[in-house]
């Protein structure tokens, strides 16, 4: 978790993870102080470095502020620009996620994954997946582990797994060492935003059957 926040402070996260952390900070203000401290440390390190000449300084500045494509990334603004603007009433989810998604939870085109579990894949490329999950109260995600890392932000409700209980604003981190079966609290549906950098692998007898029908 600290590593994830440090990556955000340094501006090195990919777009989905950046949105995930920004949304976490909107829901968990206490984390902002830690990120602000990390940003101050990073700024101090930059100030202590020796200045280096910049080739084509004016052209690079024009790229940063004018949007010219010279291969310069816009740090702290890795948002997808080809989606429709978020509605003004997108307060049901953090603004950063609503802006990235292009709509509120009520307008998502959900796809049934399992009885009681729906998903909506926002991104699916070589870098991994960004997915919204809707888990009915009391239902569970089949037991699985990971071929890489998974970061899950709870947007509404709560779920529990082998590592504990996660409520609104919490981030659950899992990797190949974690084999878990997230279960939504029985009294409320759970909505999550998950970002992975590699496919998950279902475990258990039922999971192995389901795995055959899941397209990564």
Residue 147: the pLDDT is 85
Residue 69: the pLDDT is 43
Residue 71: the pLDDT is 39
End-to-end Cα distance, the chain: 25
The first and second tokens of residue 78, run together, are 């890795």
The first and second tokens of residue 145, run together, are 């582990």
Can you tell me the distance from the alpha carbon of 134 to that of 131, in angstroms, rounded to the nearest whole number?
10
> What is the residue-level pLDDT of the chain in tens, covering all 216 positions?
888 998 888 889 999 999 999 999 999 988 988 888 877 776 555 555 666 677 776 777 677 676 444 333 333 334 433 444 434 344 568 999 999 998 888 889 999 988 999 999 999 887 679 999 999 999 999 899 988 899 999 999 999 999 999 999 999 999 988 999 999 999 999 999 999 998 888 886 655 555 555 544
In the CATH scheme, what is the code of domain 2-85?
1.10.10
Residue 70: the pLDDT is 36
Q: Residue ranges of the alpha helices (H) in 11-108?
A: 15-27, 30-48, 57-66, 95-101
Residue 135: the pLDDT is 97
In the CATH scheme, what is the code of domain 108-211?
2.60.120.10
Angle between helices 15-27 and 30-48 (to 10 degrees): 130
Residue 210: the pLDDT is 56
**How far are the Cα atoms of 1, 15, 70, 161 from residue 60, in angstroms, in the given order?**
34, 22, 7, 48
User: Quick check: 96 and 22 in contact, CB under 8 A?
Assistant: yes
Can you tell me the distance from the alpha carbon of 18 to that of 82, in angstroms, rounded to the nearest whole number?
17
Q: What is the domain partition of the chain in residue ranges?
A: 2-85, 108-211
Residue 73: the pLDDT is 38
Residue 49: the pLDDT is 60
């Amino acid at each position: 978790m600290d590593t994830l926040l440090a990556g955000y402070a340094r501006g090195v996260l990919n777009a989905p993870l950046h949105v995930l952390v920004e949304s976490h900070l909107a829901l968990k203000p206490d984390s902002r102080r830690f990120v602000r401290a990390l940003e101050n440390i990073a700024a101090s390190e930059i100030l202590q470095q020796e200045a280096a000449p910049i080739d084509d300084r004016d052209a690079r500045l024009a790229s940063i502020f004018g949007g010219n494509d010279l291969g310069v990334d816009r740090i702290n603004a890795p948002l997808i620009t080809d989606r429709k603007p978020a509605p003004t009433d997108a307060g049901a989810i953090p603004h950063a996620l609503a802006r990235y998604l292009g709509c509120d939870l009520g307008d998502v085109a959900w796809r049934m994954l399992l009885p009681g579990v729906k998903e909506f894949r926002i991104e699916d490329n070589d870098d991994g997946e960004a997915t919204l999950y809707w888990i009915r109260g009391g239902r569970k995600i089949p037991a699985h582990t990971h071929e890489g890392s998974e970061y899950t932000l709870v947007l509404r409700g709560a779920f529990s797994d082998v590592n504990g209980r996660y409520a609104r604003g919490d981030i659950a981190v899992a990797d190949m060492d974690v084999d878990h079966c997230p279960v939504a609290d029985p009294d409320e549906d759970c909505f999550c935003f998950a970002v992975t950098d590699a496919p998950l692998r279902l475990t258990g007898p039922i999971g192995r059957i389901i795995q055959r029908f899941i397209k990564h």
